[in-house]
Amino acid sequence: MGTFTGKVIIVTGGSSGIGRAAAILFGKEGGKVVVANRRIKEGEETVKMIKDAGGEGIFVQTDVRIAAQVENMVKKTVDTYGKLDIAFNNAGLAGVFQKLTDESEEIFYAQIDTNLKGIWLCMKNEIPVMLKQGGGVIVNNASITGLRALRKLNSYSASKHAVVGLTNSAAKEYAPYNIRIVAVCPGWTKTPMLWEFTSNPELMKKTEATVPLRRMARPEEIAELVIFLASDKASYIAGGGIAISGALDI
């Protein structure tokens, strides 16, 4: 019996990186995983990886910025599996390194639209299902920049601070109803979002030198924390932004 046998889990942004790693781990532990993201090919590839690892899953094309698509994601989950136990709201947009005075309104609203509104829409649709069934767990993916701002990541940092605030407010509101809500705050992680860094050895070396552990995280390391927080082993953890950054946050 796996940790999540019989559990139904949504993972947004499941096409790559942390989302894909978490989706596969949930599947390996017996979960029925709904992979939700915009890119069809990559989302279906994640589902195949889950099944190849002995798990079960489906893909639902979803843009978390669009209310109707988020509503459909949750409806499809319940229609297919009858419930929703866990949600890992992971979909997000990478930050753009610029001075605040050089940022455009388009960049600002793009960060807010995906990173903040996307998670708000997900919780808005996930929580009613969990209330009806008597509980659930939601893990939101924020960022270390939601705890400790970095220079030239103004809009991104603002959106991620807001995710932590939204998580904390919702955690207080719904903890009495047996719904645990918590945020993870990863530091530098080797994902496709960081292609500019991982494809440039010099930049990669400089970036890793800023981390006390002197390396970036693997997506699987972040996913392991998500898996723990979603499990019964973390039954008394509700609210907060939990850093996983190689000591970059302190």
- Catalytic machinery residues: 156
Distance CA 94, CA 143 (A): 11
CA angle 180, 182, 185 (to 5 degrees): 165
What residues contact 235, with CB distance under 8 A and at least 6 apart?
A: 180
- Of how many residues is the chain composed? 250
Strand order in the sheet with 32-37: 56-61, 32-37, 8-12, 86-89, 136-141, 179-186, 241-244
The token duo for 124 is: 């808005």
Asked whether the beta carbons of 156 and 95 are under 8 A apart, the reply is yes
User: How many other C-beta atoms are found inside a 10 Å radius of the C-beta of residue 107?
Assistant: 17
Q: What is the dihedral angle through the alpha carbons of 16, 32, 118, 197, rounded to the nearest 10 degrees?
A: -20
C-alpha–C-alpha distance, residues 239 and 74, integer Å:
23
Give the residue among 168, 189, 178, 53 at the shortest CA–CA distance from 119. Answer: 168
